[in-house]
Structure 1
Amino acid sequence: MGYITITTSLNYLYHSEGFWPSLIAIISSFIVIKTLNSPKRQQWFLNKRNQEADNLMFYVYNKCKNNNNSFVNVRVATQHYCGNYFGDGRNIIDGGPGLEEVEYVDAIFTLVFHLFNFCVSDYLPWLRGLDLEAMKIVKKYHDPRIKQWNDGLKNEQEDFLDVLISLKDSNNMPLLTHEEIKAQIIELMVAAVDNLSNAVEWALGEMT
Protein backbone atom coordinates (compact mmCIF):
# COMPACT_ATOMS: atom_id res chain seq x y z
CA MET A 1 0.00 0.00 0.00
CA GLY A 2 3.03 2.22 -0.26
CA TYR A 3 1.65 3.94 -3.34
CA ILE A 4 -0.82 5.89 -1.17
CA THR A 5 1.60 6.76 1.64
CA ILE A 6 4.41 9.25 1.87
CA THR A 7 7.63 7.32 2.44
CA THR A 8 7.76 5.13 -0.65
CA SER A 9 6.46 7.78 -3.04
CA LEU A 10 8.49 10.94 -2.39
CA ASN A 11 9.92 10.82 -5.92
CA TYR A 12 6.47 11.66 -7.26
CA LEU A 13 5.79 14.54 -4.91
CA TYR A 14 6.43 17.34 -7.36
CA HIS A 15 4.63 15.62 -10.23
CA SER A 16 1.16 15.58 -8.73
CA GLU A 17 -1.32 18.03 -7.24
CA GLY A 18 -3.58 18.01 -4.22
CA PHE A 19 -2.91 14.62 -2.68
CA TRP A 20 0.83 14.71 -1.99
CA PRO A 21 0.96 18.22 -0.50
CA SER A 22 -1.81 17.26 1.94
CA LEU A 23 0.01 14.09 2.99
CA ILE A 24 3.31 15.95 3.33
CA ALA A 25 1.58 18.52 5.53
CA ILE A 26 0.14 15.84 7.78
CA ILE A 27 3.23 13.73 8.28
CA SER A 28 5.81 16.50 8.28
CA SER A 29 4.07 19.26 10.22
CA PHE A 30 1.93 17.25 12.60
CA ILE A 31 3.86 14.10 13.42
CA VAL A 32 7.38 15.51 13.20
CA ILE A 33 6.87 19.04 14.53
CA LYS A 34 3.80 18.86 16.76
CA THR A 35 4.34 15.34 18.04
CA LEU A 36 8.05 14.55 18.09
CA ASN A 37 9.20 18.08 19.00
CA SER A 38 6.29 19.24 21.13
CA PRO A 39 6.51 18.74 24.92
CA LYS A 40 2.72 18.66 25.01
CA ARG A 41 2.59 15.78 22.55
CA GLN A 42 5.41 13.99 24.35
CA GLN A 43 3.39 14.22 27.56
CA TRP A 44 0.35 12.99 25.66
CA PHE A 45 2.01 9.57 25.26
CA LEU A 46 3.98 9.54 28.53
CA ASN A 47 1.59 7.23 30.37
CA LYS A 48 1.44 4.87 27.40
CA ARG A 49 5.25 4.79 27.13
CA ASN A 50 5.56 4.11 30.86
CA GLN A 51 3.02 1.31 30.60
CA GLU A 52 4.89 -0.24 27.67
CA ALA A 53 8.18 -0.05 29.61
CA ASP A 54 6.52 -1.68 32.63
CA ASN A 55 5.15 -4.45 30.39
CA LEU A 56 8.59 -5.10 28.94
CA MET A 57 10.34 -5.22 32.33
CA PHE A 58 7.60 -7.41 33.79
CA TYR A 59 7.89 -9.83 30.87
CA VAL A 60 11.71 -10.10 31.05
CA TYR A 61 11.65 -10.43 34.86
CA ASN A 62 9.10 -13.24 34.76
CA LYS A 63 10.97 -15.07 32.02
CA CYS A 64 14.14 -15.03 34.14
CA LYS A 65 12.31 -15.97 37.32
CA ASN A 66 10.12 -18.75 35.94
CA ASN A 67 12.82 -20.34 33.77
CA ASN A 68 15.51 -20.50 36.47
CA ASN A 69 17.56 -17.66 34.99
CA SER A 70 17.52 -19.20 31.53
CA PHE A 71 17.70 -17.28 28.26
CA VAL A 72 15.20 -14.57 27.30
CA ASN A 73 14.15 -14.38 23.66
CA VAL A 74 15.26 -10.82 22.88
CA ARG A 75 13.56 -10.91 19.50
CA VAL A 76 10.13 -11.51 21.03
CA ALA A 77 10.64 -8.84 23.68
CA THR A 78 11.89 -6.12 21.33
CA GLN A 79 9.52 -6.80 18.45
CA HIS A 80 6.47 -6.57 20.66
CA TYR A 81 7.77 -3.66 22.69
CA CYS A 82 8.52 -1.71 19.49
CA GLY A 83 5.18 -2.81 18.04
CA ASN A 84 3.33 -1.77 21.22
CA TYR A 85 0.89 -3.79 23.27
CA PHE A 86 -2.65 -2.94 22.25
CA GLY A 87 -4.66 -6.10 23.00
CA ASP A 88 -4.68 -8.50 25.93
CA GLY A 89 -0.90 -8.75 26.33
CA ARG A 90 -0.85 -6.77 29.54
CA ASN A 91 -3.23 -9.31 31.06
CA ILE A 92 -1.10 -12.36 30.26
CA ILE A 93 0.39 -13.96 33.40
CA ASP A 94 4.03 -13.36 32.47
CA GLY A 95 3.41 -9.97 30.84
CA GLY A 96 4.22 -11.28 27.37
CA PRO A 97 2.33 -10.54 24.16
CA GLY A 98 -1.20 -11.84 23.82
CA LEU A 99 -2.88 -13.46 20.82
CA GLU A 100 -3.76 -10.12 19.21
CA GLU A 101 -0.22 -8.77 19.50
CA VAL A 102 1.37 -11.96 18.17
CA GLU A 103 -1.04 -12.10 15.24
CA TYR A 104 -0.56 -8.43 14.35
CA VAL A 105 3.25 -8.37 14.63
CA ASP A 106 3.56 -11.62 12.67
CA ALA A 107 1.39 -10.08 9.96
CA ILE A 108 3.54 -6.92 9.91
CA PHE A 109 6.71 -8.97 9.39
CA THR A 110 5.00 -10.95 6.64
CA LEU A 111 4.26 -7.64 4.92
CA VAL A 112 7.87 -6.51 5.43
CA PHE A 113 9.13 -9.70 3.83
CA HIS A 114 6.92 -9.21 0.76
CA LEU A 115 6.97 -5.40 0.71
CA PHE A 116 8.76 -4.81 -2.59
CA ASN A 117 7.96 -8.13 -4.23
CA PHE A 118 6.10 -8.30 -7.52
CA CYS A 119 2.34 -8.30 -6.96
CA VAL A 120 0.12 -9.18 -9.89
CA SER A 121 -2.85 -7.34 -8.32
CA ASP A 122 -0.97 -4.04 -8.84
CA TYR A 123 -1.46 -4.60 -12.57
CA LEU A 124 -4.73 -6.53 -12.47
CA PRO A 125 -6.89 -4.80 -9.82
CA TRP A 126 -9.63 -7.41 -10.07
CA LEU A 127 -7.24 -9.86 -8.37
CA ARG A 128 -6.96 -7.77 -5.18
CA GLY A 129 -9.41 -10.12 -3.51
CA LEU A 130 -6.55 -12.63 -3.47
CA ASP A 131 -4.37 -10.28 -1.41
CA LEU A 132 -1.94 -11.41 1.29
CA GLU A 133 -3.58 -12.96 4.33
CA ALA A 134 -1.37 -10.69 6.43
CA MET A 135 -3.06 -7.60 5.02
CA LYS A 136 -6.46 -8.93 6.06
CA ILE A 137 -5.17 -9.49 9.59
CA VAL A 138 -3.74 -5.98 9.84
CA LYS A 139 -6.86 -4.32 8.44
CA LYS A 140 -9.21 -6.00 10.90
CA TYR A 141 -7.64 -4.00 13.74
CA HIS A 142 -8.05 -0.67 11.92
CA ASP A 143 -11.51 -0.98 10.41
CA PRO A 144 -13.48 -1.21 13.69
CA ARG A 145 -11.82 1.98 14.99
CA ILE A 146 -12.63 3.88 11.80
CA LYS A 147 -16.23 2.66 12.01
CA GLN A 148 -16.48 3.88 15.61
CA TRP A 149 -15.49 7.40 14.50
CA ASN A 150 -17.90 7.31 11.55
CA ASP A 151 -20.77 6.15 13.78
CA GLY A 152 -20.05 8.82 16.39
CA LEU A 153 -19.18 6.24 19.05
CA LYS A 154 -15.67 7.65 19.47
CA ASN A 155 -14.59 11.29 19.54
CA GLU A 156 -11.43 11.37 21.68
CA GLN A 157 -7.92 11.03 20.26
CA GLU A 158 -5.86 8.33 21.97
CA ASP A 159 -3.16 7.53 19.40
CA PHE A 160 -1.88 8.24 15.88
CA LEU A 161 -4.71 6.27 14.28
CA ASP A 162 -7.31 8.48 15.97
CA VAL A 163 -5.36 11.58 14.92
CA LEU A 164 -5.30 10.57 11.26
CA ILE A 165 -8.99 9.65 11.32
CA SER A 166 -10.04 12.96 12.86
CA LEU A 167 -8.00 15.28 10.64
CA LYS A 168 -10.20 17.70 8.67
CA ASP A 169 -9.60 19.94 5.68
CA SER A 170 -10.61 23.61 5.35
CA ASN A 171 -14.19 22.53 4.59
CA ASN A 172 -14.34 20.38 7.74
CA MET A 173 -14.33 17.22 5.64
CA PRO A 174 -12.09 14.19 6.35
CA LEU A 175 -8.63 14.97 5.02
CA LEU A 176 -7.67 11.34 4.37
CA THR A 177 -9.63 8.45 2.92
CA HIS A 178 -9.93 5.20 4.85
CA GLU A 179 -7.42 3.50 2.57
CA GLU A 180 -4.91 6.34 3.02
CA ILE A 181 -5.28 6.17 6.80
CA LYS A 182 -4.76 2.40 6.94
CA ALA A 183 -1.82 2.56 4.54
CA GLN A 184 -0.07 5.24 6.59
CA ILE A 185 -0.58 3.39 9.89
CA ILE A 186 0.78 0.18 8.37
CA GLU A 187 3.84 2.06 7.10
CA LEU A 188 4.47 3.59 10.54
CA MET A 189 4.13 0.17 12.17
CA VAL A 190 6.48 -1.46 9.66
CA ALA A 191 9.17 1.13 10.39
CA ALA A 192 8.71 0.92 14.16
CA VAL A 193 8.57 -2.83 14.64
CA ASP A 194 11.34 -3.69 12.17
CA ASN A 195 14.15 -1.12 12.47
CA LEU A 196 14.33 -0.71 16.25
CA SER A 197 14.04 -4.38 17.15
CA ASN A 198 16.67 -5.33 14.57
CA ALA A 199 19.05 -2.66 15.89
CA VAL A 200 18.73 -3.98 19.46
CA GLU A 201 19.23 -7.57 18.33
CA TRP A 202 22.30 -6.68 16.25
CA ALA A 203 23.82 -4.63 19.08
CA LEU A 204 23.43 -7.49 21.56
CA GLY A 205 24.83 -9.89 19.00
CA GLU A 206 27.95 -7.74 18.61
CA MET A 207 28.49 -7.70 22.38
CA THR A 208 28.44 -11.49 22.75
Structure 2
Amino acid sequence: MKLFHSPGSCSLGILILLEEIGQPYELEITNLQQGAHRQPQYLELNPKGKVPALMRDGGGMLTEFPVIAYWLAKSHPGAGLLPAGLEDEVRVMELTEHIVSGLHMRGSVFAMVPQKFTADAAAQADLRQHGQEVVREGFDRLAEQLGEGPYLFEDFTIADAAAYYLMSWTDRIGVALPAPLQSYYDALTQRPAVAAALERGFPNATA
Protein backbone atom coordinates (compact mmCIF):
# COMPACT_ATOMS: atom_id res chain seq x y z
CA MET A 1 0.00 0.00 0.00
CA LYS A 2 1.04 3.57 -0.61
CA LEU A 3 -0.52 6.60 1.07
CA PHE A 4 -0.37 9.99 -0.61
CA HIS A 5 -0.28 12.40 2.32
CA SER A 6 0.09 16.12 2.88
CA PRO A 7 1.35 17.26 6.30
CA GLY A 8 -1.32 19.17 8.17
CA SER A 9 -4.20 17.71 6.16
CA CYS A 10 -6.92 15.19 6.95
CA SER A 11 -4.70 12.45 5.53
CA LEU A 12 -3.09 12.39 8.99
CA GLY A 13 -6.10 10.36 10.11
CA ILE A 14 -5.48 7.70 7.46
CA LEU A 15 -1.81 7.64 8.39
CA ILE A 16 -2.85 6.92 11.98
CA LEU A 17 -5.03 4.04 10.81
CA LEU A 18 -2.18 2.57 8.76
CA GLU A 19 -0.01 2.64 11.86
CA GLU A 20 -2.80 1.00 13.86
CA ILE A 21 -3.03 -1.82 11.32
CA GLY A 22 0.68 -2.46 11.56
CA GLN A 23 1.15 -3.62 7.97
CA PRO A 24 3.95 -2.33 5.70
CA TYR A 25 3.11 0.72 3.61
CA GLU A 26 4.83 3.43 1.64
CA LEU A 27 4.30 7.11 2.33
CA GLU A 28 4.56 9.71 -0.41
CA ILE A 29 4.42 13.33 0.66
CA THR A 30 2.09 15.23 -1.66
CA ASN A 31 2.36 18.73 -0.26
CA LEU A 32 -0.81 20.71 -0.91
CA GLN A 33 0.85 23.99 0.00
CA GLN A 34 3.41 23.44 -2.73
CA GLY A 35 0.79 22.40 -5.29
CA ALA A 36 2.02 18.83 -5.61
CA HIS A 37 -1.57 17.61 -5.94
CA ARG A 38 -1.93 19.61 -9.16
CA GLN A 39 1.10 18.16 -10.89
CA PRO A 40 0.41 16.00 -13.98
CA GLN A 41 2.05 12.91 -12.53
CA TYR A 42 -0.22 13.01 -9.50
CA LEU A 43 -3.36 13.86 -11.46
CA GLU A 44 -2.67 10.88 -13.67
CA LEU A 45 -2.94 8.66 -10.60
CA ASN A 46 -5.69 10.64 -8.88
CA PRO A 47 -7.68 12.97 -11.16
CA LYS A 48 -9.46 14.42 -8.12
CA GLY A 49 -6.18 16.07 -7.16
CA LYS A 50 -6.64 15.69 -3.42
CA VAL A 51 -5.45 13.75 -0.41
CA PRO A 52 -5.75 11.30 1.18
CA ALA A 53 -5.36 8.78 -1.60
CA LEU A 54 -4.42 5.16 -1.04
CA MET A 55 -2.90 2.97 -3.73
CA ARG A 56 -3.70 -0.60 -2.77
CA ASP A 57 -1.49 -3.59 -3.35
CA GLY A 58 -2.27 -4.96 -6.78
CA GLY A 59 -3.51 -1.58 -7.99
CA GLY A 60 -6.67 0.39 -7.46
CA MET A 61 -6.63 3.87 -5.96
CA LEU A 62 -9.04 4.77 -3.20
CA THR A 63 -9.95 8.35 -2.29
CA GLU A 64 -12.23 10.04 0.28
CA PHE A 65 -11.44 9.73 3.98
CA PRO A 66 -14.47 7.67 5.09
CA VAL A 67 -14.06 5.22 2.21
CA ILE A 68 -10.34 4.66 2.79
CA ALA A 69 -10.87 4.33 6.53
CA TYR A 70 -13.70 1.83 6.04
CA TRP A 71 -11.68 -0.24 3.57
CA LEU A 72 -8.68 -0.36 5.89
CA ALA A 73 -10.85 -1.40 8.83
CA LYS A 74 -12.73 -4.09 6.94
CA SER A 75 -9.60 -5.41 5.21
CA HIS A 76 -7.74 -5.72 8.51
CA PRO A 77 -10.38 -6.81 11.05
CA GLY A 78 -7.74 -7.86 13.54
CA ALA A 79 -6.94 -4.19 14.18
CA GLY A 80 -10.42 -3.71 15.66
CA LEU A 81 -11.03 -0.37 13.98
CA LEU A 82 -14.74 -1.07 13.58
CA PRO A 83 -16.96 -2.74 16.17
CA ALA A 84 -18.68 -6.05 15.59
CA GLY A 85 -22.37 -5.86 14.79
CA LEU A 86 -24.09 -3.81 12.12
CA GLU A 87 -25.73 -1.27 14.43
CA ASP A 88 -22.49 -0.38 16.19
CA GLU A 89 -20.63 -0.28 12.89
CA VAL A 90 -23.05 2.15 11.25
CA ARG A 91 -22.94 4.40 14.31
CA VAL A 92 -19.17 4.65 13.94
CA MET A 93 -19.58 5.36 10.23
CA GLU A 94 -22.27 7.95 10.96
CA LEU A 95 -20.00 9.89 13.31
CA THR A 96 -16.99 9.57 11.01
CA GLU A 97 -19.00 10.98 8.11
CA HIS A 98 -20.28 13.81 10.32
CA ILE A 99 -16.74 14.78 11.31
CA VAL A 100 -15.46 14.72 7.73
CA SER A 101 -18.36 16.10 5.69
CA GLY A 102 -19.83 18.29 8.41
CA LEU A 103 -17.30 19.66 10.86
CA HIS A 104 -14.42 19.56 8.40
CA MET A 105 -16.00 20.55 5.09
CA ARG A 106 -18.77 22.85 6.36
CA GLY A 107 -16.93 24.16 9.39
CA SER A 108 -13.16 24.17 9.46
CA VAL A 109 -12.73 24.96 5.75
CA PHE A 110 -14.77 28.16 6.10
CA ALA A 111 -12.92 29.08 9.29
CA MET A 112 -9.43 28.44 7.94
CA VAL A 113 -9.62 29.52 4.30
CA PRO A 114 -12.64 31.80 3.73
CA GLN A 115 -10.67 33.53 0.96
CA LYS A 116 -11.23 30.46 -1.21
CA PHE A 117 -14.90 31.41 -1.46
CA THR A 118 -14.93 35.20 -1.67
CA ALA A 119 -12.54 38.13 -2.07
CA ASP A 120 -14.75 40.41 0.02
CA ALA A 121 -13.19 40.99 3.45
CA ALA A 122 -16.50 41.37 5.26
CA ALA A 123 -17.86 38.20 3.68
CA GLN A 124 -14.69 36.38 4.64
CA ALA A 125 -15.18 37.43 8.26
CA ASP A 126 -18.77 36.17 8.18
CA LEU A 127 -17.68 32.84 6.69
CA ARG A 128 -14.92 32.47 9.27
CA GLN A 129 -17.35 33.13 12.10
CA HIS A 130 -19.87 30.68 10.65
CA GLY A 131 -17.23 27.98 10.29
CA GLN A 132 -16.01 28.50 13.83
CA GLU A 133 -19.54 28.18 15.18
CA VAL A 134 -20.09 24.92 13.26
CA VAL A 135 -16.88 23.50 14.72
CA ARG A 136 -17.60 24.80 18.21
CA GLU A 137 -21.02 23.15 18.27
CA GLY A 138 -19.51 20.00 16.79
CA PHE A 139 -16.86 19.84 19.48
CA ASP A 140 -19.57 20.08 22.13
CA ARG A 141 -21.39 17.13 20.56
CA LEU A 142 -18.16 15.13 20.37
CA ALA A 143 -17.58 15.84 24.06
CA GLU A 144 -21.06 14.48 24.81
CA GLN A 145 -20.34 11.39 22.73
CA LEU A 146 -17.03 10.89 24.52
CA GLY A 147 -18.57 11.08 27.98
CA GLU A 148 -16.22 9.52 30.50
CA GLY A 149 -14.68 7.12 28.02
CA PRO A 150 -11.20 7.18 26.58
CA TYR A 151 -12.67 6.89 23.05
CA LEU A 152 -15.75 8.02 21.17
CA PHE A 153 -17.02 4.44 21.25
CA GLU A 154 -16.06 1.48 23.40
CA ASP A 155 -12.69 1.01 21.68
CA PHE A 156 -10.50 3.05 19.33
CA THR A 157 -12.16 3.25 15.91
CA ILE A 158 -11.86 5.10 12.63
CA ALA A 159 -14.00 7.85 14.19
CA ASP A 160 -11.23 8.61 16.69
CA ALA A 161 -8.72 8.96 13.85
CA ALA A 162 -11.05 11.42 12.12
CA ALA A 163 -11.61 13.37 15.33
CA TYR A 164 -7.88 13.55 15.96
CA TYR A 165 -7.00 15.22 12.68
CA LEU A 166 -9.79 17.76 13.16
CA MET A 167 -8.74 18.53 16.74
CA SER A 168 -5.17 19.05 15.56
CA TRP A 169 -6.39 22.11 13.61
CA THR A 170 -7.74 24.10 16.56
CA ASP A 171 -5.11 26.86 16.29
CA ARG A 172 -5.85 27.27 12.59
CA ILE A 173 -9.62 27.16 13.12
CA GLY A 174 -9.52 29.53 16.08
CA VAL A 175 -11.70 27.38 18.35
CA ALA A 176 -10.50 25.93 21.64
CA LEU A 177 -11.25 22.36 22.62
CA PRO A 178 -13.64 21.77 25.52
CA ALA A 179 -11.77 20.40 28.52
CA PRO A 180 -12.89 16.78 28.00
CA LEU A 181 -11.77 16.86 24.37
CA GLN A 182 -8.45 18.43 25.29
CA SER A 183 -7.75 15.54 27.67
CA TYR A 184 -8.90 13.09 24.99
CA TYR A 185 -6.66 14.73 22.39
CA ASP A 186 -3.66 14.71 24.70
CA ALA A 187 -4.19 11.03 25.50
CA LEU A 188 -4.53 10.12 21.82
CA THR A 189 -1.31 11.96 21.05
CA GLN A 190 0.49 9.53 23.36
CA ARG A 191 -1.02 6.50 21.64
CA PRO A 192 1.83 4.63 19.87
CA ALA A 193 0.18 4.62 16.45
CA VAL A 194 -0.61 8.33 16.67
CA ALA A 195 2.90 9.20 17.83
CA ALA A 196 4.36 7.15 14.98
CA ALA A 197 2.05 8.82 12.45
CA LEU A 198 3.01 12.28 13.68
CA GLU A 199 6.70 11.46 13.46
CA ARG A 200 6.43 9.99 9.99
CA GLY A 201 3.84 12.37 8.60
CA PHE A 202 5.68 15.59 9.41
CA PRO A 203 9.17 14.83 8.06
CA ASN A 204 10.42 18.40 8.31
CA ALA A 205 9.10 19.10 11.79
CA THR A 206 11.59 20.15 14.43
CA ALA A 207 11.41 19.40 18.12
Fold shared, TM-score > 0.5 on shorter chain = no
More helix by share: 1
Q: TM-score, normalised by structure 2?
A: 0.30
Q: TM-score, normalised by structure 1?
A: 0.30
